Structure 1
Amino acid sequence: MDYRVIKNNDLFLMTDHHGDILGNDAQGGLYMKDTRFLSKLELTLNGKRPLLLSSAADENYVARIRLTNEHEEEAGNVKLWRESVEIIRERFIYGEVLYETIFLTNFSTKPLTFDIGFSMEADFSDMFLIRGFQPAEELGTITERKFGKDGWHSVYKGVDGVRRETKIIWDAEPEEISGQGDVRYAIRLEPKEAKSITFTVIPSIDDNQPAIYPRSKALAELEGIYASWNENTTKIETDSTVLAGLYDRGVQDLRVLLTDFGQGLFPVAGLPWYAVPFGRDSLIAALQMLPLDPEIARGTLKIMAAHQGTELNPWKDEQPGKIMHEMRSGELARSGQVPFAPYYGSIDSTPLFILLAAEYAHWTGDTDTVERLLPNIDRALEWIEKYGDRDGDGWVEYHQESSKGIANQGWKDSADSVIHKNGEFAQAPIALVEVQGYVYQAKNRLAPILEKLGHTEKAKRLTEEAANLKAKFDEVYWMPEDQFYAIALDGDKKQVQSVTSNPGHLFMSGLVDSDRARIVAQRLVAPDMFSGYGIRTMSSESTGYNPMSYHDGSIWPHDNSLAFLGMSQMGFKDEAATVINGLLKAAERFEYNRLPELYCGYDVSVGYPVSYPVACSPQAWAAGTSVLMVQAMLGLLPDALEGTIKLNPFLPDGIRNLTVKDIPVAGGRLSVALERKDGESDPRVEIIANTSGCKIVFNG
């Protein structure tokens, strides 16, 4: 990453590696609710930028940047010897307040005097403006800016009628205050003496001021939150250092991406640009997190239900019962200049909502939550039948209605992601292959839950609908020449005959029979689809292939994770192990063993995974990939409703042991150890603890 980012709840800070927000229309800043509350924060020593020694934000909630001075002479005399001053910038966010402390230490043998300067500004730009959107209407204005010895503040009145304010207070009075956002401190340090300056940045909306705590208390509270998270979530031990690093990084990244908008914690999509409720991304990340913390699924379902579509609104691509795609709360969304408050242009969020509710119940046994959500689930099912399948042919398909909406409304939502063999873009309405799998899985897995809740007729109807979908699926989507499933049907009901990763999502659904599923699994790990670092989004033999593209040849960890989870569940252990090993090989080369949102599709002959220039990192469903690796290796499939936990374990080459402790399942905890001895193909299994009340069934 060429940036550093930290986050807590709904506030995040993005800086360069020096810890600076450079201004000059750069993208760094302090953001809350899609608004940049701090657009400049630059530190200087004697008017110059210090030299960077190290920059780390591996803890996600705390960043530490270590700097020093360059050599300075004046009229032939040494003014400041090089590397005399150590500067440590330590910052964290707690309670939607940013705390930054600058620690200054004299490591020379003589007393030193020097100036430390800070430049600051708040432009209150909307996230859409920062990402290049050109508004058609005028925006709000800064109505107040004050600078004093104890702090600074700026006020913005938006065209949406909202008052936004940034306050900065400091614990040491500066020697000089100049301009609209510059302060200077004259520092004197004896040898080995240290001093510190603490800045506290408080963003607020409509005078709703967050609580401000002493720095030490705020940091202790924050550390306690993460300690509790680590204590109460699933833990692993393994001889694979990269798996251990990737898993630990994923667990920490998932925690920092959790946000509470009043319905419980749920994962936002990713940093820096998608720290908002996201239908598809949040639902899939919550699905990935079931083996880690099923409560996250409950919070995610509740926020999706709270913002379910209620009306026909073409501007927002909204229909009754539809689950949102993305919810923004900045000035442009609130004033109606963009349709994102919320926006509903997603074909898969609605079936994924039902699917997550069903999988959550099977994992936990909590049918009460599903029963409370039944009105929302019923409306989602109605949407699938009435609006998802407008022509009544049995396939759920999308087309854009909003003039400022998204054209392609599956997870591959770039404009060039659905391509015919002749290079033409498919025209809507488009019925994506994986969406039919989500619909099948949602109905098939929900039916037994409804049966238990006494809704027998509804359960029977869903089972029949799922069976009908399965009966005609292969005839319509299978490409005999390619021996693979088409990515989609276009508006003329013709197959879009590209070989892509999308059919990999079908394995977990149960929609495809084992014979054809095996053919697809083997193709996904063949050289044209598998780079050595993961499954490409498109075959290198397909017309639209481009290893540098966003969706037509790149590698997405979450896409891979849904494929290898389904491979594991269907017994395709060799293929699942191949994919997992490829992702582990990639993780070795990324900072902190963190898999980004995506990376380029070049194969291993390059020698390293090639980064995609604007990938989000950390990103929720990329972080959740490590959790699904563990689930897949255990072959873990709980059914709390039936009182069983299936295990069908394997260990990829290079991993000899894996112990997984405290998996939350069926209201209890499960701990399992796998170990493979020399010469053995299958690992030995030890059930260390099982307080779930479920029977362990070995399926293999």
Structure 2
Amino acid sequence: MSAPEPFNAGEPALAADAGGTVTLVEGSTFCLSASTGDIQPGSTHGFYFRDARLLSRWELRVDGHAPHPLSVTGPEAFAARFVLRRPPKGGLADSTLLVVRERLVGDGLRETITLDNLGREATAVTLVLHVDGDFADLFAVKEGRVGGSSAEATAAGSDLLLRDRGDAARGLVVSATGDPLVAPGALSWRVVVPARGRWSTEIIASPRVADRRVEPQFRRGERVESSGPARKIKAWRRASTTVAADDPALTAVLRRTESDLGALQIHDPSRGGRPFVAAGAPWFMTLFGRDSLLTAWMTLPLDVGLALGTLQTLAEAQGRTTDPLTEEEPGRILHELRLGPDSGRVLGGNHYYGTADATPLFVALLAECLRWGADADAVRALLPAADAALAWVDRHGDRDGDGFVEYQRATDRGLLNQGWKDSFDGINHADGRLATGPIALCEVQGYVYAARLARAELAETFDDPATAARQRELAARLRERFAEAFWLPERGWYAVALDGGKAKVDALTSNAAHALWSGIALDEHAAVLVERLADASMDSGYGLRTLSAEMGAYNPMSYHNGSIWPHDTAIAVAGLLRYAHLPGAVELAERLAGGLLDAAGAFGGRLPELFCGFARDRFSPPVPYPTSCSPQAWASAAPLLLVRAFLGLEPDVPRREVALRPHVPARWGSLRLSELRLGQVVVDVSARGTDAELRGLPDSWRARVG
């Protein structure tokens, strides 16, 4: 048999999370397993495809026993190598049989199992792979509502066929080399491995959807680095800006960021193959309005095409009618798209619109795309969608005509809270009481402010001065009303929301920092807010807490009430640097970014969706949150927002300008962006401290440095 292929596509890293679960992801395919490679029944482990779990058991036994794990590494997000050994024979301390499982996912699963006999005599081995499936919806697995196997298993020659009893058109075909004995539920081999010899088998699991086999992104016998997922990540890297720093820790995090964002991209053939980014593994491997938009925003320094593809995909799904069940409204941007077997019963349907923030973020990102060099005709084609989005803000988002966007779910099946803190208890008063709706979130008003300025800028670019003037006037009026309605002068921060009675929900939260990022905060308010955010009740030492430790609902182990979300901290850092002229803003930004990157190092270079908000001087390294997604899109993209913010990098391709206002932290040393594409122009950027250099800019362009 052939030797195992070299596994050198990227820098090896530990692939298991703190709970010992290994996550592999490629587009809409992902696999969760133990650190042995086993998919264990009765857990959330599984091989998932298009929001359904196809494999619920995939357990390897060597001579009737589970092999002992030695290590697990993953050079890319879609591949892993599990190194194990056969349990030693009775009375012996050592084993002479090495077992290596090499796994690759991409519209299917491929596993190569290699046995290396390190002993001086031939060894007989019985190898059994137990296989089962339940074809359960993703949410049913997550919520523990799976009753057991629903697969009908049959042997067909050298193939094992699994078919969904509830939908005969769905299934999975498992085939293997090495002449296995195939029986319902298992493939087995009885082999003799010569002294110092090697034996291997290759197993492929191929989904069937609508009674048609899905073509996997790999071929039998193909090296991992030649597979479809590897080619996709290589193309992504070739097209992307190279970002590096003298600080090796930051460089390693950025490398993992690039790999994970490439693996989380979905290229939908039905939409011309244009990319959008899934929200995160394991539970959100689909299009999310807010998550996908913010991730695309953060990823602009790497590739503007991802943002444009995300906008085009969301525009196609934009609300057209009014439907209380899905919360669709004309102009509203989708919250999430689901494809699983139960998708019609999840949050009212497979297209669910219950979010208050995605719609203004759509407009804001469209203008940002144009600044970063997106095709002007493609942006112009999306202006009707942007205008429909702002019409939603005016007609449906502002429920009571007070000038603010509020939310309240249409039925009891929708999300109770519809901002980024969308858990049921995510919005509360300083004393811990839950806010009652309709709720107007502070950060959403900032997003609307940014959206109006963005639409004004688009109008100016496309020679529509009347629209530009109207949107700028609306933005200015919103900023004034926001300052009056949300500022808490006796406390020194913005209310997280206005409740249904227009009372200020007065908890100190990270949401207030989003008002800095959007620019809606007045300077006099921002100066005080910087001091409040710098307090130890907010700065955990590993990032900004979602809720101050002095608030009544604070719980560092909660989802939204005291935990640390990397994207949230990165947005706060970007907001602080927008107000870099204020005392303490740059210092706090550096401290928060430094803590976040230290946390990334503790998590193997990959920032998770969130982690617990305990103080650094109490628990170091940071404490993981048990069900955190990893990789997760906006957490993966957060380091890119840090880089952009500390560079003060603001291109404006239509006006042929590039601004650089660097405040690069000393620990980073030199920060470099190579082959940054701004439309038809390619430039290199380097910065250290407050000094920067821009190379390759044509003479017809203007550079503003410092």
Q: 1:38 aligns with which of 43, 52, 55?
A: 55
Residue ranges of structure 2 left out of the alignment (5+ in a row): 1-16
Aligned to 1:287: 297
The one-letter amino acid paired with 1:192 is R
CA distance in 2, matches of 1:691, 1:8: 39
Q: Does 1:152 align with 2:160?
A: yes
Rate the CA distance shift 1:54–1:378 in 2: closer, same or farther, 3 A: same
Aligned to 1:632: 645
Is contact 2:133-2:149 (8 Å) kept?
A: no
The one-letter amino acid paired with 2:680 is G
| Aligned 1:199-348 pairs, distance under 5 A | 199-211=203-215, 213-216=219-222, 219-222=225-228, 223-261=230-268, 262-263=270-271, 264-334=274-344, 336=345, 338-348=347-357
Q: Does 1:651 align with 2:661?
A: no
Rate the CA distance shift 1:302–1:12 in 2: closer, same or farther, 3 A: same
CA distance in 1, matches of 2:93, 2:113: 20
CA distance in 1, matches of 2:682, 2:118: 52
Q: 1:577 aligns with which of 568, 579, 590?
A: 590
CA distance in 1, matches of 2:398, 2:22: 44
Q: Tell me, what secondary structure is at the counterpart of 1:100?
A: strand
The one-letter amino acid paired with 2:186 is D
Q: Does 1:91 align with 2:103?
A: yes
Q: Does 1:171 align with 2:182?
A: no
The one-letter amino acid paired with 2:118 is F
The one-letter amino acid paired with 2:26 is N
Q: 1:67 aligns with which of 42, 64, 84?
A: 84
Q: Tell me, what secondary structure is at the counterpart of 2:308?
A: helix
CA distance in 2, matches of 1:133, 1:192: 46
CA distance in 2, matches of 1:587, 1:157: 43
Q: Does 1:101 align with 2:109?
A: no
Rate the CA distance shift 1:568–1:421 in 2: closer, same or farther, 3 A: closer
Rate the CA distance shift 1:239–1:644 in 2: closer, same or farther, 3 A: same
Aligned to 2:444: 435
TM norm structure 2: 0.92
Q: 1:423 aligns with which of 425, 432, 435?
A: 432
CA distance in 2, matches of 1:388, 1:655: 42
The one-letter amino acid paired with 2:204 is T
Residue 458 of structure 1, CA deviation: 2.2
Aligned to 1:360: 369
Aligned to 2:564: 555
CA distance in 1, matches of 2:411, 2:556: 31
Is contact 1:51-1:68 (8 Å) kept?
A: yes
Q: Tell me, what secondary structure is at the counterpart of 2:382?
A: helix
Residue 473 of structure 1, CA deviation: 1.2
Deviates more, 1:205-214 or 1:355-364: 205-214
The one-letter amino acid paired with 1:579 is L
Residue 522 of structure 1, CA deviation: 2.9
| Aligned 1:613-624 pairs, distance under 5 A | 613-624=626-637
Q: 2:611 aligns with which of 575, 599, 619?
A: 599
Q: Tell me, what secondary structure is at the counterpart of 1:568?
A: helix
Residue 603 of structure 1, CA deviation: 1.2
Q: Tell me, what secondary structure is at the counterpart of 1:364?
A: coil
Deviates more, 1:504-513 or 1:613-622: 504-513
CA distance in 1, matches of 2:410, 2:541: 40
TM norm structure 1: 0.93
Q: Does 1:126 align with 2:142?
A: no
Deviates more, 1:454-463 or 1:108-117: 454-463
CA distance in 1, matches of 2:50, 2:464: 41
The one-letter amino acid paired with 1:398 is Y
Q: Does 1:182 align with 2:186?
A: yes
Residue ranges of structure 1 left out of the alignment (5+ in a row): 676-681
CA distance in 1, matches of 2:299, 2:326: 29
- Identity within the alignment, %: 34
CA distance in 2, matches of 1:63, 1:535: 33
The one-letter amino acid paired with 1:110 is E
The one-letter amino acid paired with 1:403 is D
The one-letter amino acid paired with 1:434 is E
CA distance in 2, matches of 1:619, 1:689: 34
Aligned to 1:678: none
Aligned-CA RMSD value = 2.0
Q: Which deviations, in whole Å up to 9, do the C-alpha atoms of 1:9-42 show, x marking residues without a partner?
A: 221111111111111x211111111111111100
Rate the CA distance shift 1:425–1:276 in 2: closer, same or farther, 3 A: same
Q: Which deviations, in whole Å up to 9, do the C-alpha atoms of 1:245-272 show, x marking residues without a partner?
A: 1111111111111012344111111001
Q: Does 1:50 align with 2:81?
A: no
Residue 563 of structure 1, CA deviation: 1.4
CA distance in 2, matches of 1:177, 1:656: 58
Q: Which deviations, in whole Å up to 9, do the C-alpha atoms of 1:370-390 show, x marking residues without a partner?
A: 211122112111111111001
CA distance in 2, matches of 1:349, 1:10: 22
CA distance in 1, matches of 2:531, 2:378: 39
Rate the CA distance shift 1:683–1:374 in 2: closer, same or farther, 3 A: closer
Is contact 2:132-2:149 (8 Å) kept?
A: no
Q: Does 1:386 align with 2:388?
A: no
Residue 577 of structure 1, CA deviation: 1.3
Is contact 1:428-1:490 (8 Å) kept?
A: yes
Q: Does 1:17 align with 2:35?
A: yes
Q: Tell me, what secondary structure is at the counterpart of 1:315?
A: coil
Is contact 2:305-2:374 (8 Å) kept?
A: no
Q: Which deviations, in whole Å up to 9, do the C-alpha atoms of 1:508-542 show, x marking residues without a partner?
A: 22212223223222322221110111110011111
CA distance in 2, matches of 1:625, 1:552: 20
**How many matched pairs?**
677
CA distance in 2, matches of 1:70, 1:304: 52
CA distance in 1, matches of 2:404, 2:215: 51
Q: Which deviations, in whole Å up to 9, do the C-alpha atoms of 1:395-424 show, x marking residues without a partner?
A: 001001132211011000111111113321
Residue 569 of structure 1, CA deviation: 2.6
Q: Tell me, what secondary structure is at the counterpart of 2:191?
A: strand
Q: Which deviations, in whole Å up to 9, do the C-alpha atoms of 1:554-578 show, x marking residues without a partner?
A: 1100001111112223323222212
Residue 124 of structure 1, CA deviation: 0.4
| Aligned 1:442-461 pairs, distance under 5 A | 442-461=451-470
CA distance in 2, matches of 1:685, 1:350: 36
CA distance in 2, matches of 1:139, 1:15: 18
Is contact 1:91-1:100 (8 Å) kept?
A: yes
Residue 134 of structure 1, CA deviation: 5.3
Q: Does 1:372 align with 2:387?
A: no
The one-letter amino acid paired with 1:71 is P
CA distance in 1, matches of 2:312, 2:435: 35
Q: Does 1:672 align with 2:682?
A: no
Aligned to 2:486: 477
Q: Tell me, what secondary structure is at the counterpart of 1:531?
A: coil
CA distance in 2, matches of 1:665, 1:603: 41
Deviates more, 1:601-610 or 1:277-286: 601-610
Q: Tell me, what secondary structure is at the counterpart of 1:272?
A: coil
Q: Which deviations, in whole Å up to 9, do the C-alpha atoms of 1:285-307 show, x marking residues without a partner?
A: 00001111110001100111111
Is contact 2:651-2:659 (8 Å) kept?
A: yes
Aligned to 1:661: 674
CA distance in 2, matches of 1:374, 1:204: 39
Rate the CA distance shift 1:157–1:451 in 2: closer, same or farther, 3 A: farther
Aligned to 2:421: 412
Q: Does 1:82 align with 2:86?
A: no
CA distance in 1, matches of 2:27, 2:700: 35
Residue 648 of structure 1, CA deviation: 0.6
